[in-house]
Structure 1
Amino acid sequence: FEGVACVAFHPRFPENRKYYVKYHVRNQGSHFSPVIVERQATPDLLHDAGVPSRRVLQIHQNTDLHWGGMIAFGPDGYLYIGAGDAGPQEDPEGHGQDLKVLNGSILRIDVDRQDGGRPYAIPELNPFRYAAPPIRPEIWASGFRNPWRFSFDPATGDLWVADIGQNLFEEVSIARAGENHGWNVYEGFMKFSEQHRRDGEKYTPPVFSYRREYGVSVTGGYVYRGRRNPSYQGAYLFGDFESKRLWALTQADRQLIKVRQIGESPQRIASFGLDHDGELLLVGYEGTIYRLELDGSDFHTVPMLQARVNLLRNGLPAAARVSITGRDDLPYAPDAVPLRKTAAGESYFYADRVFEAKVPRGRSRLTFHGGLETIPQAAVIDAGADTELTVRLQSWIDLAERGWYSGDSHVHLHTGGPISVTVADALVAASAEGVNFVNLCVSNVEGDDIRDSELITGKPHPASTDRHLLVFGEEMRSMIYGHMQFFGITKLVEPQYTGFDNTPFSVDFPANYQMAAEAVRQGAVVTYAHPMFTGQPFPFDDDLARPNGAARELPIDAILGVAHAVDIMSYNSDEPLSTELWYKLLNCGIKLAACVGTDALLDRSTDPPGGDRVYVKIAGPFSMESWLAGLKSGRTFVTNGPVPLLEVNGQGAGETIRLPSAGKVQVAATVESYVPFDQVELIVNGEVVVHTAVPAEGTSGVKLARVAVELPIERSSWIALRVRGPADRQVFDG
């Protein structure tokens, strides 16, 4: 079998040894279609008998999307089949509303009989059993997008269907014969499209729907009818594949009574199962089967208290990145505030000045972060009533006082993600992370969907403050030549992308130079994004036509003067490989500034902006112009924690020292850090010439290391300072 999705055992399996497998086969083209076959077990019921399969049903489709997944025998003895809408995204052909195709429906067939030339029969009470062709009589209920898992309540016979959503909502429904559950006219409770609405059609809403900030792919479970925890009796337990959250809900007449999160899975949730006692099992995507232990919880009683937290810095209201973990080890956030998650799995939200959150009564842990220059704070709420707390954020260093201002070249505001954000939210994030300059990149999402281009003005957005500048720039994306960020452009440089299939700019033309030159004409500074990826052959793939976002054209554009910097650090790149590429370009005499672009997405759960960052030494007051001038001149350092400062003959980063002949230079390096580091290296022309191991003792608090040496210089050279350290929970992209 290829791509097995589900197995169902015949109700009389001990006698007839029949079981059914849903898997995928290739069509005559390149796409897969779901197939259901009948197999037979050996007499001891422990192995497959090895006899040929009997093909029961194939559901043809023309994309590799939304196959559905579940098959199960109902209490009536018939086989129920979950069929997805077969794509493409958003179901433009309206399969979910088309009774002439099997897609987008729950099907019901009788595998014990055959009629009408089919290898199965149509149950007498199927709602479309006697409908005129071409309506498909197999359809039992319609209007589904991708019903990956469904189950029957053994006590009531209700069919619970978890349907994976499109852009905004996941949904849980109780389906009944002949009903239309709405897709793609509705997504969850909200209208989605009028294109395939039928006059007079009645649409059945879900019991429960949740926004994608809580998860992006619902996995259906079971109604609890076990004995170990009576408080869950009759509650439907389910989860989300991606967020790994587990919920339980109760309903009456398909109206939601109560829903609460009851846990989080160690692995992404692929499926659920039941043991012989009706207790739930969870199938992890990585291959582990877990038993849900409900003994220590009570579904009906979760006493909550209100926590009010005031955030201050230097006695003034401040913003912060906050994590709250309740006594149940679950994350919490204020109402209507999106809960995000880092790549390491830590949940967080942004708060400005003051916030209120409901947390379980008892001990809750809170952490507060203010970016690389701020000392992380921790607090514990252990109270039996509503409480108030004031947190005073403290900096361990203030680099702006020394003329260094931080920035992130690559942050996206709107990418079609599930979190609703505005420019004001971007300002809160920048303030909370202590990032002074944020380049909010306009780019296509997928295809020709370009967002926020009207906000490009060549000036800081009016929401900016004197300490935090939000400037809309551009990420120019070529699938062959690499991605670039433009700082300070006055209007969108077009084409904004090249080489994206099925778009107006599907060809790999023009080369990046044309767009970079136009950006420079507008007065922009240009940097190349995520120049090298993990596992990528150095410097580039042999197959130059294979799509790749690496900086393939960077050397040429730098030589031609239209690329000024390169992002040495990014959440999406390999820093050692990217640094090696930079070293090679410097060795060729190409002076490129070191920059950073995290590629953080503010409308999705990612690591935060500024977890990696570039610091720029500016001349005069902080402004967009002074920051970009400092970046272009190379007065920068990049970091995700330590602060490395380098002087050669009294000159700082980005400066040029002219010697009359070969000789020696005085090098002074200082490293300050609140996170651990254990190595300090001086690099000359790509080679380590000084390596200093830093003792691990006394790693708490601020750590300081100094290196002062005299280096011989015999030819044209460049000198850099590099700091390394161990992984640390405070460090992103480490």
Structure 2
Amino acid sequence: MSKLIGVVVDAETGQRVESRVRVLAPNGMFAHPTDAILKVGPGAPFFYSDGSFEVELGKGPVQITVERGTEYEPATVPVQMPSRGVKTVEIALRRWAVLGAIGWHPGNTHIHYDEKETRPDDRLALDPRVEDLRMTAVSILKRRELDYATNRYAPGFLTEFSSAHHYVQSGEESRHNSQPWSPGYGHIMLLNLRNVVDPLSRGVLVDSYDPDYPPLSYACDDAHRQGGIVIWCHNGQGMEAPVAAALGKLDAFNLFDPGWNDAEYDIYYRMLNAGFRLPASTGSDWFISSANRVYASTGAAFDYADWLGALQAGRTFITNGPA
């Protein structure tokens, strides 16, 4: 066996950068470091890199693919591995766009880690950087007694995961389903909170006897009273969405979340046609399994409060790649 050492850098600055990496071994199988954080979700497998990685491989041709966010060009590098020894490869990622320079900054408003995630802190330390997000929001939610990994984070600013370039917060998804996997009133994302808005869920998401009460509009009011913002999730699914929009309870509207579902715009366009000019937003839902992001225009310097204000004012666009 031989060892592949990879170093990922920004082509312009030469600085190491976090990225997602796919290594295909000589047998064509995905290979990764034994302690790697792996991508969760559909599509090609990747592992996360903090700027360097090491993989044990056999002799033969190897293919390395490296990606970072959506403003860098993916890089694919072929490598011929020896039977023994060490092979070191530097992969330089080139930016094709620098939207921050013209005032547009990306965020993901909807992320959870499920009950099977064993290293949420390690994943959350990498997620915003690998995806090159300025604003990242994980959130608390309730489904019966499942112990979702991101429920450990209290609402508000998460200092330990944030930096001058990456603002990470914990919010809340307040929900009602009519059946275990069918939205009833719907789901809303509450961000910029100081405290949990109770109840987290109502009805069958709690247990078979929990009442279908209170409506989500009450949660919108509770969030607004503490300075929070309200985003309707999942393309407007849920019978309360048009009611909440008509009552002025919503600050934005998440489209194509989760990322593995087909995009649905029918409800959004009906709301626009009815005069409800809801700003477009998006997220990925379970883990970061897609490139979904919402860009908000705040000027060249990123400021979280300005970013939220731009989202509420509708100075946004949503994308999973094209800019």
Structure 2 length as normaliser, TM-score?
A: 0.90
Separation in 2 of the partners of 1:448 and 1:378? 39
CA contact 1:411–1:598 (8 Å) conserved in 2: yes
SS of residue matched to 2:235: coil
**Which residue in the other structure is 1:592 paired with?**
278
Match of 1:340 in 2: 39
- Matching residue within 620, 632, 637 for 2:317: 637
Contact 1:460 1:624 in 2 (8 A): no
- The structure with the largest helix share of the pair is 2
Shift of 1:425: 2.1
Aligned to 1:473: 171
The one-character-per-residue Cα deviations of 1:273-298 (angstroms, maximum 9, x if unpaired) are: xxxxxxxxxxxxxxxxxxxxxxxxxx
1:699 equivalent in structure 2: none
C-alpha separation in 1, matches of 2:208 and 2:146:
7
What secondary structure is seen at the aligned counterpart in 2 of 1:309?
A: strand
* 8 Å contact kept, 2:197–2:222: yes
Distance 2:34 2:149 in 1: 28
- Classify 1:500/1:451 alpha carbon distance in 2 versus 1 (closer, same or farther; 3 Å): farther
- Contact 2:282-2:318 at 8 Å conserved across structures: yes
2:77 to 374, 379, 391: 379
How far apart, CA to CA, are the structure 1 residues paired with 2:217 and 2:186? Answer: 11
Q: How big is each residue's C-alpha offset from its partner over 1:127-182, in whole Å with a ceiling of 9 and x where there is no partner?
A: xxxxxxxxxxxxxxxxxxxxxxxxxxxxxxxxxxxxxxxxxxxxxxxxxxxxxxxx
Instruction: Tell me which residue corresponds to 1:396.
Output: 96
> Residue 452 of structure 1: CA displacement?
4.8
Structure 1 residue 392, shift from structure 2 partner: 1.3
Q: Give the CA deviation at 1:512.
A: 0.4
For structure 1, the residue ranges without an aligned partner over 5 or more in a row are 1-303, 533-549, 644-734
Counterpart-to-counterpart distance in 1, 2:40 and 2:301: 36
- 370 and 452 in structure 1: CA distance in 2 versus 1, 3 angstrom threshold: closer
- Judge conservation of contact 2:62–2:79 (CA < 8 Å) in 1: yes
Alignment of 1:105-504 (within 5 A): 304-313=1-10, 314-340=13-39, 342-344=41-43, 346-384=44-82, 385-413=85-113, 415-417=114-116, 419-447=117-145, 449=147, 452-453=150-151, 455-479=153-177, 480-500=184-204, 503=207
Identity of aligned pairs, percent?
Answer: 25
Determine helix, strand or coil for the equivalent of 1:409: strand
If asked which structure has higher relative contact order (CA below 8 Å, sep 6+), I would say 2
SS for the counterpart of 1:507 is coil
Question: Which of 227, 233, 238 matches 1:529?
Answer: 233
Structure 1 residues 584 and 338, CA, compared in 2 at 3 Å: closer, same or farther?
A: same
How many pairs align? 312
Q: Deviations over 1:423-475 (max 9, x none)?
A: 34213121111122111011124446466556334324332011111110011
Q: TM-score, normalised by structure 1?
A: 0.41
Q: Which moved more, 1:307-316 or 1:448-457?
A: 448-457
In structure 2, the CA distance between the partners of 1:501 and 1:555, relative to structure 1 (3 Å rule), is: closer
Correspondence for 2:269: 583
2:150 and 2:286 mapped to 1: Cα distance?
A: 16
SS at match of 1:386: strand
| Residues 172, 189 of structure 2: 8 Å contact kept | yes
Q: Which amino acid aligns with 2:7?
A: N
Matched position secondary structure for 2:46: strand
Partner of 1:199: none
8 Å CA contact 1:567–1:594 kept in 2: the answer is yes
TM-aligned CA deviation for residue 388 of structure 1: 0.4
**Aligned equivalent of 1:617, options 276, 294, 297:** 297
Q: Does 1:506 align with 2:192?
A: no
Separation in 2, partners of 1:454, 1:308? 34
Asked if 1 retains the 8 angstrom alpha-carbon contact of 2:296 and 2:310, the reply is: yes
| Partner amino acid, structure 1, of 2:277 | K
- The Cα RMSD (Å) is 2.0
Deviations 1:377-423 (A, max 9, x none): 0111203132001111111001111110111111113x212x42233
2 CA distance for matches of 1:628 and 1:617?
Answer: 10
Identify the residue that residue 560 of structure 1 maps to in structure 2.
247
Mapped partners of 1:516, 1:504: distance in 2 = 25
Letter matched to residue 161 of structure 2: A
Structure 1 residue 573, shift from structure 2 partner: 4.1
Structure 1 376/524 Cα, relative in aligned 2: closer, same or farther at 3 Å? same
Partners of 1:481 and 1:552 within 8 A in 2: yes
| Corresponding residue number in structure 1 for 2:256 | 569
Alignment of 1:83-98 (within 5 A): none
- In 1, the alpha carbon distance for the partners of 2:21 and 2:240 equals 40
User: 1: distance between equivalents of 2:158 and 2:37?
Assistant: 26
Larger gyration radius, structure 1 or structure 2 = 1
Q: Rate the CA distance shift 1:447–1:481 in 2: closer, same or farther, 3 A.
A: farther
Change (3 A) 1:383 1:370: same
Unaligned runs of 5+ in 2: 178-183
Distance in 1 (alpha carbons) for counterparts of 2:209 and 2:233: 20
